Amino acid sequence: MWAHSRGGLELLFGSVKCHEVDLDSNEITVEKLLVWIRENLLKERQEMFLKGKSVRPGVLVLINDYDWELMGHLEAPIKDKDSVVFISTLHGG
Amino acid sequence: MLEQKLADRDRVPVRSAAAEDLRSAYTTHGLNSYQVCRYSRQLLVPAFGIAGQEKLLSSSILVIGCGGLGSSAALYLAAAGVGVLGLVDRDTVELNNLHRQIIHSEEAIGTSKVRSAATSCRRINSSLSILEFPNGFSADNALEIVRKFDVVVDATDNLPSRYLISDACVVARKPLVSGAALGLDGQLTVYNHKNGPCYRCLFPVPPPQSACQRCSDSGVLGVVPGIIGSLEALEAIKLASGTGEPLSSRMLIFDASLGRFQNIKLRAKNPSCVACGDNPEITEANFHNMNYEAFTGVAMTDEVIRKQVVSLSNSLSCLELRKRIEEKVPHVLLDVRDEHQYAISALPQSTNIPLSQLQKNSQELRDIILDDEKMPVFVICRRGNSSQEAVELLRNSGVNALDVTGGLEAWSREVDSKFPLY
Ligand SMILES: [Zn+2]
């Protein structure tokens, strides 16, 4: 699967916007993906990305271009070849 | 032919409602011959046509914020022939606005943004009716202003205004076109339309302050808000004229560096939302008591406020710094801004180690202090906030660090006005 970050969040991942992630099993949940990201990808300032088991307020999670709220939130399943995007809401103008 | 049209225009003020006596025996709609000519190229678009233009001419659209987003949004709305255009902003035009805020010109520097924007819009379309709100948008006046309009465009630059505008639109039952831009990224959506979400449905809890980046800190490539503002005008025109499918329950995400637009599907409105849910907590009755700056912990301006954290005995003023430099008192001058900012302008003989690097690797500090533990390290940054963080960090590692109060902005004010400020 592919994990993307946008809206400034990529800065937390060494400015890399796109990560390919090999899943051990056929299907995992967003919750498990967040744990994996915390342990393997997140280079600095975890509080800018995570809060508790979830993402911090102001971050939208998209699974194949669908709001994760429509897919089951933390329980949303992720399969091989899926694309997960983490996007920080912007306020500037 | 053209002369006749211009003469027609001069005889009556060409507003949609006042067009009665210019109506032709040749038409059955409300546009006079001047308006038919003026808007002909969009009348020719089948999905818009006469019906769309008539609706647009009799509609009113409010643009909140006359900055990077509001510039292109207001200019396109003015040109397209909206009936009444509302403009809100309490700021004045500054030199560092002009790279993106294309509605303002050099002559407008120091004058009201609303006045400058209204002048530009009238120059494009003198038949426009413009309502100017130069005192800004707050919980006190929000409902009263929003109620005068059919569609609202959020073109602001800060988090508390985004909650305030969304709540006001929910209470006043107005669709809200919302755009944002920063760096090379843009976002666009329509809130509070039919079954779609409001801002609070998506973001019930505000992000931490540290995640609220501003254009004045993070920068923005001028054309990016221009693109998002143009798209805001498009969505507002669609809503006002009943054309196409508004971007409700969807969000357009623009990545300028990759040249990529992504159109994502958002959740529907949340029945338990405190603003637009079945039992809302935010109502007309308590709206004026809302404090959005307290709720988000962020000020409604783009200004950065400097807080004194380091004790004054561990600080020195820019004038004192100049004296030490002139008297050749041994010291290290440490500039803790990011490299790309240091490249814009810096004091001679300063050393650049960004705060983020200091935080990661305190060993670097040892290298800059050379052999002498007592050697004073004067720490400077742009405004004097990060430098204080660095001073605390360095002092905890036993370094004799002192903060240069107010940073390079203070240097420019107190020592040398020729320092290139940004
Ligand atoms: Zn809501």
**Burial of B47 by CB count in 10 Å (0-12 exposed, 13-18 middle, 19+ buried)?**
exposed
Considering the domain boundaries, does residue A32 fall inside one? yes
Mean pLDDT, residues B123-128 taken together: 97
Residues of A in contact with B68 (CB under 8 A): 93
Contacts across the A-B interface (CB distance below 8 Å): 105
Question: How much is the pLDDT for B413?
Answer: 96
- Rounded CA gap, B181 and B100, in Å? 11
Residues of A in contact with B266 (CB under 8 A): 67, 69
Q: Which listed CATH number (3.40.250.10, 3.40.50.450, 3.40.50.720, 3.40.50.2000) goes with B312-415? A: 3.40.250.10
CATH 3.40.50.720 for domain B59-296: yes
Question: How much is the pLDDT for B81?
Answer: 98
Measure Cα distances from B102 to B67, B68, B120 in Å: 8, 7, 10
Q: What is the pLDDT of residues A70-79, one digit of tens each?
A: 999 999 999 9
Mean pLDDT, residues B332-356 taken together: 95
* CA B241 to centroid of ligand 1, rounded, Å: 25
Residues of B in contact with A90 (CB under 8 A): 180-182, 185-187, 213
- Rounded CA gap, B411 and B17, in Å? 57
The reply to whether B99 sits in an annotated binding site is: yes
Mean pLDDT, residues B348-371 taken together: 79
Considering the domain boundaries, does residue A93 fall inside one? no
Q: Write out the DSSP string of B320-360.
A: HHHHHHHTT---EEEE-S-HHHHTT---TTEEE--HHHHHH
The reply to whether B121 sits in an annotated binding site is: no
Q: What is the pLDDT of residues B129-185, one digit of tens each?
A: 999 999 999 999 999 999 999 999 999 999 999 999 999 999 999 999 999 999 999
Measure Cα distances from B355 to B376, B380, B392 in Å: 18, 11, 11
Rounded to the nearest angstrom, the minimum Cα separation between A90 and chain B is: 6
Question: Per-residue pLDDT for B107 more than 80?
Answer: yes
Question: How much is the pLDDT for B13?
Answer: 46
pLDDT band at A23 (very low <50, low <70, confident <90, very high): confident
* CA A36 to centroid of ligand 1, rounded, Å: 32
Question: How much is the pLDDT for B299?
Answer: 86
Question: How much is the pLDDT for B20?
Answer: 52
Rounded to the nearest angstrom, the minimum Cα separation between B25 and chain A is: 47
Mean pLDDT, residues A50-75 taken together: 95
Question: Per-residue pLDDT for B364 more than 70?
Answer: no
Number of Cα atoms under 13 Å in the Cβ half of residue B347: 28
Look at residues B22, B421, B395, B77 and name the one whose alpha carbon lies nearest to residue B233. B77
Q: The domain containing residue A55 runs over which residues?
A: 2-88
Tokens representing residue B375 in the block: 């050697």
Q: In this structure, are residues B191 and B185 in contact, taking their beta carbons and an 8 Å threshold?
A: no
Question: Per-residue pLDDT for B17 more than 50?
Answer: no
Question: How much is the pLDDT for B4?
Answer: 56
| Domain range annotation of chain B | 59-296, 312-415
Residues of A in contact with B255 (CB under 8 A): 6
- Rounded CA gap, A93 and B97, in Å? 11
Q: What is the pLDDT of residues B268-294, one digit of tens each?
A: 999 999 999 999 999 999 999 999 999
Considering the domain boundaries, does residue A21 fall inside one? yes
**B215 assigned to active site:** yes
Question: Mean pLDDT across chain B, nearest whole number?
Answer: 92
The answer to pTM > 0.95 is no
Cross-chain residue pair A58–B225, CB shorter than 8 Å: no
Please state the φ and ψ torsions of residue B164, each to the nearest 5 degrees. -60, -50
Number of domains, chain A: 1
Look at residues A47, A87, A48 and name the one whose alpha carbon lies nearest to residue A67. A87
Tokens 């949609």 correspond to what residue? B16
Q: What is the pLDDT of residues B374-410, one digit of tens each?
A: 889 999 999 999 999 999 999 988 889 999 999 999 9
- Residue A36's CATH number: 3.10.20.30
Considering the domain boundaries, does residue A60 fall inside one? yes
Instruction: Write the CB contacts of B29 (distance below 8 Å, at least 6 apart in sequence).
Output: B50, B54
Question: How much is the pLDDT for B14?
Answer: 47
pLDDT band at B213 (very low <50, low <70, confident <90, very high): confident
Q: Is the dihedral of CA B15, B21, B26, B28 positive or negative?
A: positive
Name which of B68, B180, B208 is nearest A91 (Cβ-Cβ).
Answer: B180
Question: Per-residue pLDDT for B416 more than 90?
Answer: yes
Q: In this structure, are residues A34 and A54 in contact, taking their beta carbons and an 8 Å threshold?
A: yes
- Rounded CA gap, A16 and A79, in Å? 22
Q: What percent of chain A has pLDDT over 70?
A: 100
Look at residues B402, B410, B412 and name the one whose alpha carbon lies nearest to residue B331. B402
Q: What is the pLDDT of residues B332-341, one digit of tens each?
A: 999 999 999 9
Cβ under 8 Å to A: B residues 252-311: 253, 255, 258, 262-267
* CA B273 to centroid of ligand 1, rounded, Å: 5
